[in-house]
Structure 1
Amino acid sequence: MKKIINSDKAPAPIGPYNHSVMTGDLLFISGQIPFNQATETLVTTGIEDEAKQVMANLQAILEEANMTFENVVKATIFLTDMNDFSKVNEIYGSFFTAATAPARECIQVVKLPRNVNVEISMIASK
């Protein structure tokens, strides 16, 4: 049985989906973009700020599910420019410890929703 978990601290979904779905011990988190729910604005002040906002959105959803980044077992990063990889990787990496970091891939795409430069989705486990 699945349980829908949404957070009022993350941006409201812009389509027919939820922030996350819990099934068994697994939490599947939809891709998050750099939208700041508190100010209702899209963060466009540089890839570092965008990555920080994406991670903050993911953290809000994890917290709503009573989890932390330590529970994350898989992440997918989507970038519109692979030249941003090292900057995003540095921000992303600051939320994990090397010994327990999740599996991950990073993919360059042509375009992302709202023309953002980064989107990240995750799977976590209790």
Structure 2
Amino acid sequence: MTDIVRRGTTARYSDSVSHAGVVHLVEVPASEGTDIRTQTRETLASIERQLAAAGSDKSRILIATIYLVDMADYDGMNEVWDAWVPAGCAPSRACVRVAGLARDGWRVEIALAAALR
């Protein structure tokens, strides 16, 4: 049996949860009300830190789901995403428009799973 490892656990959520060689995490921007490129960079930087802490990295992402409040942000988000993902390592990915996120000023939220090293 493989243990479940939770990092940064609060009463409501964990920063990441690892099980059976895979880490799962969800990240949001550090700022509110900024443009999509800034919020995407912030979110991806947080993802990169969480992946490293769990024993993985962005080249090992298996699947990502990106939530956008406004699909007009799609191209700007993709510009930052495409520059961030290592060549040849693009994961399976979905991008979904949502009515809103937990904070009014957030424009993006990203959930993903990555293989551990």
Please report the TM-score for the alignment, with normalisation by the length of structure 2.
Answer: 0.89
Matches within 5 A, 1:1-126: 1-6=3-8, 16-29=12-25, 31-35=26-30, 42-115=31-104, 116-126=106-116
What do the CA deviations read for 1:31-80 (whole angstroms, capped 9, x no partner)?
Answer: 21111xxxxxx243211101100101111100111211011110010000
Report the Cα offset of residue 5 of structure 1: 2.2
Higher mean C-alpha deviation, range 67-76 or range 94-103: 94-103
Tell me the matched-pair count.
113
- Percent of pairs identical after alignment? 27
Distance 1:98 1:107 in 2: 23
Runs of 4+ in 1 over 2 A off after TM superposition: 42-45
Alignment gaps of 5+ in structure 1: 7-11, 36-41
Relative to the length of structure 1, the TM-score reads 0.83
Work out the CA distance in 1 between the residues paired with 2:6 and 2:37: 30
Greater relative contact order, per chain length (Cα 8 Å cut-off, separation 6+): 2
Gaps of 5+ in 2: none
CA deviations on 1:89-118 (whole Å, 9 max, x unpaired) are 111111113422100000000000112110
Whole-angstrom distance in 2 between the partners of 1:118 and 1:23: 26
Task: Supply the AA of the counterpart residue of 1:27.
Answer: V
- Note the aligned Cα RMSD (angstroms): 1.6
